[in-house]
Structure 1
Amino acid sequence: MTEDITYADATELVARLRKGEVSAREVVRAHLERIEEVNAHVNAIVTLDAEGATAAAKEADDRLARGEEVGPLHGLPIAFKDTHLTRGMRTTHGSPLFADHVPDVDELLVQRIESAGAIRIGKTNVPEFAAGSHTFNRVFGATRNPYDLTKSAGGSSGGAAAALASGLQPIADGSDMGGSLRNPASFCNVVGLRPTPGRVPSLPVADPWDTMAVAGPMARSVADAALLLSVMAGPDPRCPISLDEPGSVFRTPLERELRGLRVAWAPDLGGRVPVDPEVSAQLASQLRVFEELGCTVTEDCPDLDGADDVFRTLRAQQFALGLGATLEADPGSLKPSLARNIEQGLQLTGADLRRATTAHARIQQAAVEFFARYDVLLAPVSQVVPFDVESEYPALVGGQEQHTYLDWMRSAYYVTVLGAPAVSVPAGFTPGGLPVGLQLVAAPRADLTLLQIAARYEAATRHGLRRPALVPAE
């Protein structure tokens, strides 16, 4: 009964809950039992409120019994990313500075998800201040990959991805600047969507005009990710870049015929990034899926000249804006790699920002022109397979040395610079049993089209149905 619930699709669970075939209390209880059994192995959920979740589930059942209107996420348990503010529940940002921090407000996406009927059960692990694509910190330690507990689950939404793959929750929220929704999804064989900037408004934020960092959904299927996006998305007047389109458009069917689809394939982003042979071989094998679906596949890549400087400069600016005062007040309080990024941001000049902004505008305009020729771009999500959980980052990628914790993430963060929606979908496994994700990218604002294409690929391959063989906790 527990596994029947904990690995059920969110869309299926919602339908069963509304029909009274299963209660919210049963759904929450099953997930709490699963957390008790396996979370000690993966360390995905770091704050848990079993009592509060149980009480909220009873209230949800009572509302349905009284015939009240319930939301599209009615009865679904969710643990929020530990960088997202949750009123009355600890939000640590993975930092000792906030180890006991309990906010008095909910972040906007938390408000929207809970207003849609989801039940908060806790928080998921993150790297310190979400910096880096490997989830470890000095407060809770490292999150482990459910498919191989000696490997990384990715990051910064690594706790969320590991929780999904382990059956600890049916849906998960996350955020993505340089791949934080996509890399952990690739590592954990789940779906992670980086929406078009402005699709999911973020509040509160230090810079409401920022288009680098976005919030988005994670799930075990594309349809479930679309369901969660439908309540996360939608305009908010306090967010100046928010898109006017309502989130409800993502509750439409995702069926789509792909015959005639124009597909671009960029196996190494135009020679710009090294890729491990295991990743390259597995992704190359997936091209035939699109060809068999009637697509035309052409090797091509958008203009990404200068993307590295754009991303690193604008990222450093955002880190300086958000954490500069923290570093200046207590220089030893942050992990060294994060402190260096903040220092770089504090040292930026007007000329640095002009150069990055000019290149960013050129790349985004070129992306619009590229997607006038192609319907979707295929590329690696991550350049490597999941690496040793005890390492901060992989030392080598495709035989090339990696000098910082950002170097190996280029295949994800170059796509960030395009300003386009991108999704990681399960694309199979290496001979050693490690997951590999495929990155699909569509034109800016074409999030629904992207989800439709991803759903058709998912249905044709069914890679996401392979579950990890977790050993129950003693």
Structure 2
Amino acid sequence: MGSELIYLPATETLALLRAREVSALEVAEASLRRVEEVDGRVNAVVTVTADLALAQARALDDAMARGEEPGPLHGLPIAYKDLTDTAGVRTTYGSPLFADHVPGSDALVVRRARAAGAVTIGKTNTPEFGTGSHTVNAVFGATRNPYDLTRSAGGSSGGSAAALAAGMVALADGSDMGGSLRNPASFCNVVGLRPTPGRVPDHSPTAAWFTLGVPGPMARTVADAALLMSVISGFAPTSPFAVREDGSLFAGPLESDLSGLRVAYSPDLGGLPVDPRTAAVTARAPEVLAGLGARVERADLDLSGAEDAFRVLRAWHYLNAFGGLPADQVGPNVAWNVDQGRRVTAADLARAERLRSLLFHRAAAFFDTYDVLLAPVSQVPPFPVEEPYVTEVAGTPMPDYLAWMRSAYWISVLHAPAASVPCGFTPEGLPVGVQIIARPWADLTVLKVAHAFERATGHGARRPSLSPPSG
């Protein structure tokens, strides 16, 4: 049954495990076998923890044999982004400076997933310190898109997205500042949820109040992402803005009647350039929701100020987090961000905070009229893996490596939950996701709408052939 297990939804694999129709050891072995078969071409799981996975799986099987109640993620293979600390397991952050780094403790998401019975398969690739939406670094090289090995898997959670798409794991974690959960999900035809900040509490010794970067779940289905959310979300005192609601909020059924749901559709978020291939795919999304009974209107949320606010706050964060590292030993993207941070003034920070406050209140008024906003995740489909970043979108030059990600990072400033769900494919067979956004703390609304969209379209069920690159 091993070959059938690799693409089963996590919820279905969990049902088989609970019914003892398959063992945790069999599931772990199937996952590790798949990594061995395909990851040499994809380069998604950069540190494989086979011995740990098999030991965890055997312990879970023994516990079941003793009659112990299985946890909510019992026996499900998971891989953690190489930014996520894992005790005793190499965690490089994609940086040569940390190529041999082994943390002494687990991040909160790891502790919660392990306690729920998840089996650790390994660590997934990320750009250096998660910098950029293309997963490549000097330690492990580039992660390739399972749907076309000549293309990028996106980033910065590109290893997680590619591992899911290739059937290597059932679940994965990620993190998102400027689109790092949503962009790779779009590129790899999987689901990525950027939760409301504080929904999945983080721990930062230097920037505890920073809300642009958040941890979150990735999976092949919306229900699987909700399952992982039910475990990793919930209050923790490590974050000063941790949401008090319990993670069990996400454990219930996602089926929902969308009749009367108020949907705003913005094909370009108010004028951003969008590749015609991406635009053609996302243009079909409003009809899907309308067919499910939603009231869909063409409407733009006023996002003026989002560009300035995001860039100032991001630059400040990079100086705070990485300004002490030797400039000649970090990559060009990190060095550029730190340099931008050194240029930030008190007046810049004050302006960014004012702009962000205005955006928050404008979005609140917008979501009094609409329940969700539908928009592109990325302005382009997956681009050639050899290119460091997108330099032009629909004929418009991009001034730097960040600019092509505006459709994702403008949303990051809103303190709002946003998901990428598979929306279709370009004529070349490249995946395209659509972004579903709601007001802050309405994460469950996002998941329910995404689930209905997923069920109505079935795009997420299309699997990659993993054919070798041409030439």
- Opposite residue 299 of structure 1, the aligned amino acid is R
Structure 1 unaligned blocks of 5 or more: none
SS of 1:369's equivalent?
Answer: helix
Aligned to 1:451, which of 442, 447, 460?
447
Letter in 2 for 1:354: A
The residue type equivalent to 1:296 in the other structure is R
| Contact 1:424 1:439 survives alignment (8 Å) | yes
1:372-423 superposed Cα distances (whole Å, 9 cap, x missing partner):
1001100000000000100011121011111211010000000111111000
> CA separation in 1, counterparts of 2:383 and 2:468?
23
Residue in structure 2 matched with residue 369 of structure 1 by the alignment: 365
Distance 1:3 1:393 in 2: 35
1: distance between equivalents of 2:204 and 2:308? 27
Query: Residue 128 of structure 1 aligns with which residue?
Result: 128
**Quick check: 2:53–2:121 contact (8 Å CA) kept in 1?**
yes
Q: Which shows bigger deviation, 173-182 or 343-352?
A: 343-352
2:277 paired with 1:281: no
* Structure 2 residue 404 is the aligned partner of structure 1 residue 408: yes
Which one of the candidate residues 352, 357, 360 is aligned to 2:353? 357
Q: 1:423 aligns with which of 419, 422, 434?
A: 419
Q: Is the 8 A contact 1:222 1:451 kept in 2?
A: yes
**For residue 435 of structure 1, what is the aligned residue in structure 2?**
431
2:173 partner SS: strand
Cα-to-partner distance string for 1:124-156 (whole Å, 9 max, x where unaligned): 000011000000000000000000000000000
Q: Which amino acid aligns with 2:89?
A: M
Alignment of 1:91-110 (within 5 A): 91-110=91-110
The DSSP-based 3-state class of the residue aligned with 1:162 is: helix
Question: What amino acid does structure 2 have at the position aligned with 1:178?
Answer: G
Give the 4+ runs in structure 1 shifted more than 3 A: none
Partner of 2:257: 257
Q: Is the 8 A contact 2:310 2:410 kept in 1?
A: yes
Q: Answer yes or no: is 1:302 the counterpart of 2:301.
A: yes
CA distance in 2, matches of 1:80, 1:291: 37
**Aligned mates of 1:472, 1:406 — CA distance in 2:** 30
RMSD after superposition: 1.1
| Equivalence map 1:13-32=2 (5 Å) | 13-32=13-32
Q: What amino acid does structure 1 have at the position aligned with 2:118? A: A
Q: Tell me how far apart the structure 2 counterparts of residues 438 and 332 of structure 1 sit (CA, whole Å).
A: 39
What letter corresponds to residue 463 of structure 1 in structure 2?
H
Distance in 2 between residues matched to 1:157 and 1:438, nearest whole Å: 17
Deviation at 1:472, TM superposition (A): 8.5
The DSSP-based 3-state class of the residue aligned with 1:263 is strand
What is the letter of the counterpart of residue 304 of structure 2? Answer: D
Question: Residues 70 and 205 of structure 1: is their aligned pair in 2 closer, same or farther, counting only changes over 3 Å?
Answer: farther
Asked whether the 8 Å contact 1:38–1:471 carries over to 2, the reply is: no
* Aligned-partner Cα distance in 2 for 1:48–1:465: 26
Question: Identity percentage over the alignment?
Answer: 58
Is 1:378 aligned to 2:382, yes or no?
A: no
Q: Residue in 1 aligned with 2:201?
A: 201
Greater shift, 400-409 or 155-164, is seen at 400-409
Cα deviation code 1:5-64 (max 9, x no counterpart): 010000111111111010000000001111110000100000011112111110010011
Indicate the SS of the match to 2:420: strand
* CA displacement at 1:471 relative to structure 2: 3.9
* Structure 1 partner of 2:12: 12
Distance 2:149 2:332 in 1: 26
Contact 2:153–2:382 at 8 Å: present in 1 too?
yes
AA aligned to 2:317 is Q
- Relative to structure 1, the CA distance from residue 405 to residue 235 in structure 2 (aligned partners, 3 Å threshold; closer, same or farther) is same
Q: Is the 8 A contact 1:206 1:321 kept in 2?
A: yes
Superposition TM-score, scaled by structure 1 size: 0.98
1:337 is displaced (CA, Å) by 2.1
Amino acid at match of 1:386: P
Deviation of 1:299 after TM superposition, in Å, equals 1.1
Aligned length: 469
Q: Deviation digits for residues 219-246 of structure 1, max 9, x if unmatched?
A: 0000000000011100012211000000
Residue aligning to 1:160? 160
The corresponding residue for 2:45 is 45
* Partner residue in 2 for 1:89: 89
CA separation in 2, counterparts of 1:350 and 1:419? 22
Find the aligned partners of 1:142 and 1:117 in 2 and give their Cα distance: 31
1:205 shift after superposition: 4.4
SS of the equivalent of 2:324 reads helix
Name the aligned partner's letter for residue 322 of structure 1.
A
Whole-angstrom distance in 1 between the partners of 2:130 and 2:238: 24
Which amino acid letter does the alignment assign opposite residue 286 of structure 1? A
Q: Deviations over 1:285-334 (max 9, x none)?
A: 222111111111111121211100100110111111110111xxx21111
1:306/1:359 contact within 8 Å kept:
yes
User: How far apart, in 1, do the equivalents of 2:293 and 2:77 lie?
Assistant: 39
Report if aligned partners of 2:10, 2:76 keep a CA contact under 8 Å in 1. Answer: yes
User: 1: distance between equivalents of 2:246 and 2:274?
Assistant: 38
**C-alpha separation in 2, matches of 1:282 and 1:76:** 32
Q: Tell me the distance in 1 between the aligned counterparts of 2:65 and 2:23.
A: 10
Contact 2:149 2:468 (8 Å CA) reproduced: no
Give 1:261's aligned amino acid. L
Q: 1:207 & 1:73 partners in 2: Cα distance? A: 31
Question: Aligned to 1:325, what secondary structure does the other structure show?
Answer: coil
Residue 67 (structure 1) shift: 1.0
The aligned amino acid for 1:302 is L
- Counterpart in 2 of 1:321? 320
Matching residue's letter, 2:284: S
